[in-house]
Amino acid sequence: MKSENSNNQEILIKVKNLKKYFPVRRGIIFQRNVGTVHAVDDVTFNIYRGETLGLVGESGCGKSTTGYTLLQLYRPSAGAVYFNDINLVKLKDNDLRRMRCKMQMIFQDPYASLNPRMTVGEIVGEPLVIYNVASGKKLRERVENLLEMVGLNPAFAGRYPHEFSGGQRQRIGVARALSLDPDLIVCDEPISALDVSIQAQVVNLLEDLQAQFGLTYLFIAHDLSMVRHISDRVAVMYLGVIVELTERNELYNNPLHPYTQALLSAVPIPDPVAEENRQRIILQGDVGSPINPPSGCRFRTRCSIATEICAEERPAMQEINPGHFVACHHV
């Protein structure tokens, strides 16, 4: 794929040919490998400093695995992840630990990602203690300041997670992610477990914090309308590969990949006339298996315009329009 940096923005994260495979084992005592899950398979993209890159796709396509591998919570099977031109894949132990304070994560489930045995103050302050950033009075003041940033009462620092609603728990997770002043935050479907009325509040909070601190987000989500609201650019993922990547409005106004077109046709439009007149694209067939993915183009088994070359050759990412990359033989 050609360079995406056509507007001379500073690249914070550079992902090159990233792969993450998981072995499939069978047997209770003598386990043997019977296959490999190709969760992320040769993914390449950049994230610019200060932007929000949305990553969308259906369940099981590898979105969350991409985020975990980017942060080295999963070690990649192959490829490279450059953070400020430092290849995280090659870092070991203490060197990687020092880099991790600049990369944080907001997890999908606010109920499972907070330790029920720790108070809110201990949860938010734990990164500061681990990295020896603050202690004593300074630690308490920093925790109170972080809780205020995310719209929570500092007096709640002595309470436990079970005393909070889902939206409040996610705010606690945001405060924890902010504690070490990171450059990058991976948001792994941070609103999918929340009520619709709370989702907008959390997204608005993330946008306000980004404007205030110059944060960079990788925003992983299912909700295409919310992704359009918060993202600067959007990458569409299918069965472990990125099939389209471009600026937000360009993607929604001019989707080029057949899979992207099908996804967007399912998004409701708040206009009865437009909703009635548009044509819904119904995909036929089943999603391919990540253990034995289709040859060539991963989407060809459900694509209405697939031909022989789609089965024989994997399509490369091409820049069809400035900054608009698509992996399809027929675009």
DSSP 61-104: SSHHHHHHHHTTSS--SEEEEEETTEEGGG--HHHHHHHHTTEE
**pTM across the whole model:** 0.90
Does 251 fall in a domain? yes
So what's the pLDDT on residue 271? 66
Cα within 13 Å of Cα(298), Cβ side: 25
Structural Rg of the chain based on CA atoms: 21
- Structure-model confidence comparison of residues 268 and 45, the more confident one: 45
> 80 and 18 in contact (C-beta within 8 Å)?
yes
For every residue of 30-45, DSSP letters joined together read: S-EEEEEEEEEEEEEE
Structural domain that includes position 311: 11-102+182-326
So what's the pLDDT on residue 283? 80
So what's the pLDDT on residue 110? 86
Structure tokens, 257: 């990949």
H or E segment and range at residue 119: none
> pLDDT band at 77, cuts 50/70/90?
very high
From the centroid of its chain, how far is CA 310?
Answer: 28
Does 136 fall in a domain? no
Does 41 fall in a domain? yes
* Average pLDDT of the chain, as a whole number: 90
Beta carbons within 10 angstroms of residue 305's beta carbon: 11
Does 153 fall in a domain? no
How far apart CA 122 and CA 164 sit, in angstroms, is 15
Does 114 fall in a domain? no
**Which residue, among 53, 57, 2, has the nearest Cα to 323 in the 3D structure?**
2
> 232 and 247 in contact (C-beta within 8 Å)?
yes
In this structure, what CATH number is given to the domain that contains residue 246?
Answer: 3.40.50.300
User: Has residue 4 got a pLDDT over 70?
Assistant: no
Does 188 fall in a domain? yes
Q: pLDDT per residue over 159-172, tens digit each?
A: 999 999 989 999 99
Does 162 fall in a domain? no
The residue assigned the tokens 């946008």 is: 207
Q: pLDDT per residue over 309-324, tens digit each?
A: 999 999 999 999 999 9
Task: Count how many domains the chain has.
Answer: 1
Does 33 fall in a domain? yes
Selection from 4-13, 25-34, 280-289, 315-324 with the highest mean pLDDT: 315-324
User: Has residue 201 got a pLDDT over 80?
Assistant: yes
User: Has residue 11 got a pLDDT over 80?
Assistant: yes
Beta carbons within 10 angstroms of residue 286's beta carbon: 8
H or E segment and range at residue 234: strand 233-238
> pLDDT band at 274, cuts 50/70/90?
low
User: Has residue 267 got a pLDDT over 80?
Assistant: no
> pLDDT band at 206, cuts 50/70/90?
very high
> 21 and 39 in contact (C-beta within 8 Å)?
yes
> 45 and 235 in contact (C-beta within 8 Å)?
yes
